[in-house]
Structures are given as structure tokens and as C-alpha cells.
A and B are shown apart, each in its own frame.
Chain A
Amino acid sequence: MFYRTRLLSLLSLILLTLAVFVLLRDLQFSEQVDRQILLQLRLPLVLCAMMVGASLATSSALLQVMLRNPLADPGIIGISSGASLFAAIYLLIGGSLSAVLLEYGLPLFSFIGALLSTLLIYVLARRLSLVSGSGVILAGIAISTLSGGIIAWLYFFSDAQSLRNLTFWLLGSLHQASLQLVLLALLPVCLALGVVIIQGRALNWLYMGQRSAQLAGLDIVRFYPRMLLVSAFLVGVAVSLAGSIAFVGLLVPHLLRNVFGFDNRFILPASALLGAILMLLVILVSDLFGGVAVPVSMLTATLGGPVFLYSVIKLAAR
């Protein structure tokens, strides 16, 4: 337990150092310009990256155990597509709305999309008695395909400007959220992360299935809807802040479990920290491309794909 506390402290320290580095890099410390850059560009960027990384990684760690499927990532099981679909609809329909409505309505719509798709996936998988097996993935693929189809129709009917906005947004970008929006999301996201992180013991019971957890003292009837709601909220916020970002959720808990074992009292907080670290690293890597804003999903999928493939091969070799 002591060594895990030290590991969490080390991860926190790395996160803090990275955050300060990303915030202050290349600044000339000439007051006026730097202040503007720091407050209007860097601070929202760093906070947004940390929130998105922590939200996606933690909600994935939660969903993987709750749905008893190590592949349950919000992207793979269709929660992100649901959120993206609703966000895309809002982006296209709300194109004529004022900037304020667009900025604050988008997170709300993504959250509703994430929530509806989570509930739909759960109900479908449960109705088909497939919750413990591949049912969640199958239901997720169905939802993703359906969402993808509808988004394609939206592309078809949108004008050139909306098309560009939508494409860029769907590929994911950490640069699109304003400081106000990020600050607005900060407290609820921290609270939601806190709610998930304290469920480590209950999630440990769920490794052996719902009935075992119930026998060990978990009130399944209350736990599942609550936690699904919280994870949908986290994914909804992440999608609304940065678009659809692949692989972070799948990769982080997977790596942690491979190296440090399965105890969720450690995996959940460590996922939040490592997810945030990973997204800050993505910012640094995207800096290598000069002034070009590289879509986040492009980077996370390129970096995460091979690492995940390695994990799968290692797992199969056992």
C-alpha cells in the first residue's frame, strides 16, 4: 500500500511538472503579451488536456470493470460516437445561433448524447443477456455504426464552412475550449472524478461478476445507474471540450493493470493522473509540428495503437 501511495505521489509530481512546463514553455516573460498567452491560450489548453485525459481514462477504467470487458473504452463501445453525434447535430443546426449559445450548448448536447448512448448500450446488452460477454461491444458497434451513418448524412447536407468545422471538431482538438468554459467544467469534473475514484473497493468486487459483488455487499441496483451516469457525464464533458479522442481511455487503464495489477483503489486514481499526463505529452508532441494544429485523435491513435497491440500480444502469449 505504501509503495502505491508513493507511485501516486510520483505520478502527481510528474503531472504538475509537465503542466507547469507546458504552461510556461517558450515564454519571454514580457508582461503584457505573456499574460495574454498564459490566460487565454495556455491555461485553458493545459486544464482542458488534463480534464479530458483524466475523464476518459478514469471512465474507461470504471466501464471496463462494470461491463466486464477489458475492451470497454468510450470510443469502442459507442459512448463517444453518441456524444459526437449530438454535438455534430448541434454544431450544424446551431450554426446560426449566437457564439455564447453555441459554446455552452455544445457540452450540454454532448453530455445528453453520451448519456443516451450509454443507457441504450446497457439496455440493449442487458436485454440480450450479453452484459458479461461481448454484448456490450456488439451493442456499442451498432450504436457507433448508426451514429457514424447519421453523421455522414449530416456531412452530406452541410455547407463548406460547417463541413470544415465538423471535420476538425470530430478529429479532436484541445485548442477549441475557452477559459470560461474550461473553468465552468473544472469543478463538476473534479467532483465526478472523485465520485469514481472512491469506488475502488466496490469495483474490485465486480471483477468476479455482479452476483459476487452483491454477495460481498454492493447494492447493484443503485450502483450501476449512478456510475453509468457519472461515466457518461465524464465522457460527455471530454467530447464536448475536445471532440472525439481515440485510445486514451483504452490504453491507460490497460497499461496500468499490466504493470501494477488489478487493485482499483490504485488503478482509478492512477488512471486519472496518467490520462492527464498523456494528454499533456500529446500537446508537447503536437508542438513538434510547428504552428500546425494537429488533430488529437490522430496523435493518440498513432501513439496508442502500437502500444495497445503490444499489450494484446503480451496478453495472448500468457
Chain B
Amino acid sequence: MLRIEGLSLPQRIKQVSLDVVPGDAIHLLGPNGSGKSSLLNLIAGLITAQQGTIWLEGRNLYHYSTAELATCRCLMEQTHRSVFALTVEESLSFFCDTRPLPDELEQALDITQFLHRPLNELSGGEQRRVQIARCLMQIWPAIDDGKALILLDEPVQGLDFSHQHRLCILLNELVRKGNMLIMSHHQLNLAERYANRIWLMHEGKLTADDVPNAVLTEARLSEVFACNVRIVADTEQNRLIQTYL
């Protein structure tokens, strides 16, 4: 369980309080600069809040050692490049002892085909898939036990549609084991389809925390994203969210 109480970071996060329970698949939405990455960095323990406390499994996050945290939470960051020409296999093996790649990960991310290629020579989407695999493999034993906190900052950026869906399906399978997931992105339809809770951030504040149907409304999205939003139904009565200026 994760509990966030009155978290503040100057200029970026304003008094955010939240609870996350095992089995939560939370999609974090909001315009650029709304504080999504800062909130994820705070929860990961990478930066320290000016005010507020984060409790992970009943223990203050700041009382965890760096090594302890590394076994139960992962964070995939947006930007990631190495100046060294590491192969994909090397970059994965350096961060985890799990070998070979777990089947679930391979099915969703398709990375075995370029294991021996230099990471820097892959396309943006391929690099992103490797990055997601590395992040999850780092805490794979905890994920297997259903005790992991998975934090992903824009993991679907650069991924083709097929891999976007396969990733979300994989993550929801992991969540069903009892893990906690918080991922930020800008794909409203993915959030509608795969989230069981949505956090909507705007100007450093949490403006909504509820199930997709309640958060993703035309009025709210139009206001937060300063954009026209229309919600329609497809032939199977699923909601589709369209945006236009």
C-alpha cells in the first residue's frame, strides 16, 4: 500500500494526497508541465518533497535505503541515452539477474530479436520497449510476488498501436497479481480502456482521482487540456474520446 499525504514541491506539486492499494492500475494524465513526472520522481524517492510524507507498506519512504527501494519499486524515466554503445543484452543484464527474459515480457515487448544490437542504434520506440523491459526486470522477483510498485513515465511514447495495447495488457496482468502501477501518458483512450483509476493533474494540483468514467468527461478534459473534447460510442458501446482544436 502507498499513502501520500500533503505532498508539495515548490513550483511543481501543490498539496497532493492520495492512496494506492495493491491491484490499482492508475493512469496519470495532465497537460505538459502539470507535475506528472515530478510526482512520479517524488514517489520513486528520487527527489525529496518540501512538505508531506510518503508511506510505502506502512513505512516512511525516506527511511528506506536506496538498495532496499531498488528491490521493490522501479521508475522508467522519459529520457534515457547512454554515451556508450552498449548492446540491448548488456543493458538488460547489468540491471537484473533474471535470465532469460520472462515470457510475458517478451510477448508484450518483442525485444529478443534485437538483443545483440547496440541500444543507441535502435529506433525510439524500440529503445522505449527495452527501457520498459529493463525497468520491470530490475524488480521482477517483487513483481512475481505481487509486492512491487511500478512507476512508468510516458511508457507508450513512441510505441506503435499494437505495442501500446500489448504493454497495457501486460501491465494489467501484473497488477492483477497485487502489484501497484502508476503510469503517466497522454493517450486518453488507453486510460479509458485500461485504467481502473485515473489521476488528473493540472498546474501541480490533483484535480481528479476516480474511475475513468467519472474523470474522463468532456467538460473536465476540455477545461484541463484547453482543447475541444468529444466523447462518442463505438459499435460495441465503448467510449471513444476525440480531441480537436
Interface residues on A, range: 20 to 34
Contact indicator B80/A263 (Cβ below 8 Å): no
| Docked complex: A7-47 residues within 8 A CB-CB of B | none
Q: For the complex, what is the distance from the CA of A257 to the CA of B90, rounded to whole Å?
A: 12
Q: Does B244 contact A (CB under 8 A)?
A: no
Q: Does B84 contact A (CB under 8 A)?
A: yes
Q: Shortest Cβ distance from B135 into chain A, in angstroms? A: 8
Chain B 18-48, CB-CB to A under 8 Å as 1, else 0, gives 0000000000000000000000000010100
Please report the number of residue pairs spanning A and B whose Cβ atoms sit closer than 8 angstroms.
62
Q: Does B77 contact A (CB under 8 A)?
A: yes
Q: Does A90 contact B (CB under 8 A)?
A: no
Contact indicator A318/B85 (Cβ below 8 Å): yes
Q: Does B108 contact A (CB under 8 A)?
A: no
Contact indicator A217/B94 (Cβ below 8 Å): no
Residues of B within 8 A of A204 (CB): 94-95
Chain A 196-229, CB-CB to B under 8 Å as 1, else 0, gives 0000010011011101101111110000000000
Q: Does A149 contact B (CB under 8 A)?
A: no
Residues of A within 8 A of B138 (CB): 215-216
Q: Shortest Cβ distance from B54 into chain A, in angstroms? A: 16
Closest to B67 in A: A217
Contact indicator B90/A262 (Cβ below 8 Å): yes
In this complex, how many residues of chain B approach chain A with their Cβ under 8 Å: the count is: 26
Closest to B90 in A: A262
Residues of A within 8 A of B90 (CB): 261-263
B68-76, B179-187, B224-232 - interface stretch: B68-76
| Docked complex: B70-119 residues within 8 A CB-CB of A | 70-71, 74-75, 77, 80, 82-87, 90-91, 93-95, 118
Contact indicator B94/A69 (Cβ below 8 Å): no
Q: Does B237 contact A (CB under 8 A)?
A: no
Q: Shortest Cβ distance from A134 into chain B, in angstroms? A: 10
Contact indicator B46/A211 (Cβ below 8 Å): yes
Q: Does B66 contact A (CB under 8 A)?
A: yes
Q: For the complex, what is the distance from the CA of A69 to the CA of B71, rounded to whole Å?
A: 29
Q: For the complex, what is the distance from the CA of A70 to the CA of B84, rounded to whole Å?
A: 7
Closest to B118 in A: A318
Q: For the complex, what is the distance from the CA of A201 to the CA of B80, rounded to whole Å?
A: 19
Q: Which of B84, B87, B138 has the most CB of A within 10 A?
A: B84
Task: Choose one: B66, B71, B83, B118; the contact of A214 (CB below 8 Å).
Answer: B66
Q: Shortest Cβ distance from B64 into chain A, in angstroms? A: 11
Chain A 254-271, CB-CB to B under 8 Å as 1, else 0, gives 000100011100000000
Task: Choose one: A209, A211, A318; the contact of B82 (CB below 8 Å).
Answer: A209
Q: Shortest Cβ distance from A198 into chain B, in angstroms? A: 15
Q: Shortest Cβ distance from B10 into chain A, in angstroms? A: 19
Q: For the complex, what is the distance from the CA of A212 to the CA of B153, rounded to whole Å?
A: 13
Q: Which of B65, B70, B77, B95 has the most CB of A within 10 A?
A: B95
Q: Shortest Cβ distance from B68 into chain A, in angstroms? A: 8
Q: Shortest Cβ distance from A60 into chain B, in angstroms? A: 14
A-binding residues in B (CB < 8 A): 44, 46, 65-67, 69-71, 74-75, 77, 80, 82-87, 90-91, 93-95, 118, 121, 138
Kindly list the 4 A-B residue pairs having the minimum CB-CB distance in the complex, ordered from nearest: A217-B70, A204-B94, A217-B67, A219-B66
